Amino acid sequence: MEEFQRSLGYSFQDLSLLDRALTHKSFVNENGEPLADNERLEFLGDAVLELMVSDYFLKRFPDSAEGELSKLRAAVVRQSHLAKLARQVDLGSYLLLGKGEEQTGGRQKTSILADTLEAVLGAIYLDAGFESARGAFLNCFEGEINHVAHQKERRDFKSELQEYTQERLGCVPSYRVVRSYGPDHDKIFEVEVVVGEEIRAIGSGKSKKEAEQRAAKAVLEQFPSS
């Protein structure tokens, strides 16, 4: 535990909070002991993280509209990104898992890693308050948050859409050129993107790639920001 606390840059006053944050429900269920799993801490940590990231981007981009800030926040707090951050501090090595979850690769499961990282933030919040939780999070991950910020003007909408639809809808988007027009030296392409059976949009551009990006952006704008 000391090594994990060093990687966080935070030392718990109440180590039982850290123990609980790292305890998955499968461990409690299989051991039948009067232990608490980390789900309540995850619930709290989710709220702490939302506030923390909202505050960070609000100060970083004082002139940005609410919608753009929401998209930036969503990029940080989405499950796959949180799991990536958790892997950076080797969080999976410290989990308390049931045997069944252990055997099915639970230490590297995206959902478990993301949820546990939120639980750890919730535990730090209870241990020492919001500023300590924010300090620990930024100490570890500010570089990654800045990377998201740097993508503000260089977003890959196709990758975002694929990640979103795989995570939320269990499918991937498909693209097809519906038409092209204009002279060869100045041709315009129109591309349709379809997600599932109902969600679709068309984008146009001077290349197929540009048209696909615009179509993907149009679909993303149909989804909630977070």
Q: Which of 101, 118, 160, 212 is catalytic?
A: 118
Helix, strand, or coil (residue 199): strand
Give kind and range of the element (H or E) at residue 195: strand 188-195
For the question of residue 127 being annotated catalytic, the response is no
CA separation for the pair 222, 226 (Å, rounded): 12
- Give yes or no for a contact between 219 and 207, defined as CB atoms under 8 angstroms apart: no
CA separation for the pair 19, 133 (Å, rounded): 16
For the question of residue 90 being annotated catalytic, the response is no
- 115 annotated as a binding-site residue: yes
Q: Which of 30, 33, 37, 46 is catalytic?
A: 46
- 42 annotated as a binding-site residue: yes
- 30 annotated as a binding-site residue: no
Backbone angles phi, psi at 210, to 5 degrees: -65, -40
CA separation for the pair 84, 106 (Å, rounded): 15
- Give yes or no for a contact between 27 and 35, defined as CB atoms under 8 angstroms apart: yes
Catalytic site positions: 46, 118
Binding residues for Mg(2+): 42, 115, 118
Binding residues: 42, 115, 118
